[in-house]
Amino acid sequence: MPAKIRLTRHGRKKSPYYHIVISDSRAPRDGRYIERIGMYNPGTNPATIELDFDRALEWLQKGAQPTDTCGAILSYKGVLIKNHLLNGVKKGAFSEEEAEVRFNTWLKDKENVIQTKRSKVVKVLEEEEKKRFEAEKKIKEARSVELAERNAELAKEEKTEAAEETPEEVPEEKKDQEVSENETPEKPKEEKKEEGKKE
């Protein structure tokens, strides 16, 4: 049975990452393998792929068959196109220098595509953060307005309560004057009464 290039699962529940391995096709998925040539983490955006390019190419030329997912990963990294170009050189379709030039042009185009995708992802994240910040700002402003209104209402209530509790106080000077005015006319009357009694 031929060797296979496939993934073995690692990581905790609901957050997996995978090792890219060369194994016997009869071996279980997470069982024994011949060689580990890379790592694939789909949890990041874009997905993280670490691959030993030369070893993957060597195993492909030896006849190892990639699974569908590994085939997509190898295609993304350019291993399949390099293998295709080397097969063309073996058949005499073009020279090795031309194959290298073709591969480098493909690699540059691929890097540009990856870079544009990364910049888009970063832009989207920045926009989301901006929106979140604006939403939080609006909530904060609404809360501050609500607090100011509540404080104003409390201040009004305190003023009305204070006004109801304290009656109108007459100044002390006026009180003294009223008392003195009341006392002076009464004294002569009392004196007259006393004089009348003595007589």
**Are 10 and 17 a contacting pair, CB within 8 Å?**
yes
State residue 46's pLDDT score.
81
State residue 190's pLDDT score.
54
Say whether 3 sits in a helix, a strand or coil. strand
pLDDT band at residue 18 using 50, 70 and 90 as cut-offs:
very high
Taking the C-alpha atoms of residue 59 and residue 66, their distance in angstroms, rounded to an integer, is 10
Residue 167 reports pLDDT greater than 70: no
State residue 8's pLDDT score.
94
Q: What tens digit of pLDDT does each residue of 111-159 get?
A: 898 889 888 888 998 999 999 999 999 999 999 999 999 888 888 888 8
Taking the C-alpha atoms of residue 110 and residue 135, their distance in angstroms, rounded to an integer, is 38
Q: What tens digit of pLDDT does each residue of 72-86 get?
A: 999 999 999 999 999
Domains within the chain, CATH numbers bracketed: 3-93 (3.30.1320.10)
Residue 197 reports pLDDT greater than 60: no
- 0.75 exceeded by pTM: no
- The per-residue pLDDT of the chain, averaged, comes to 84
Burial class of residue 38 in the structure, from the number of CB atoms within 10 Å of its CB (0-12 exposed, 13-18 middle, 19+ buried): buried
Residue 174 reports pLDDT greater than 60: no
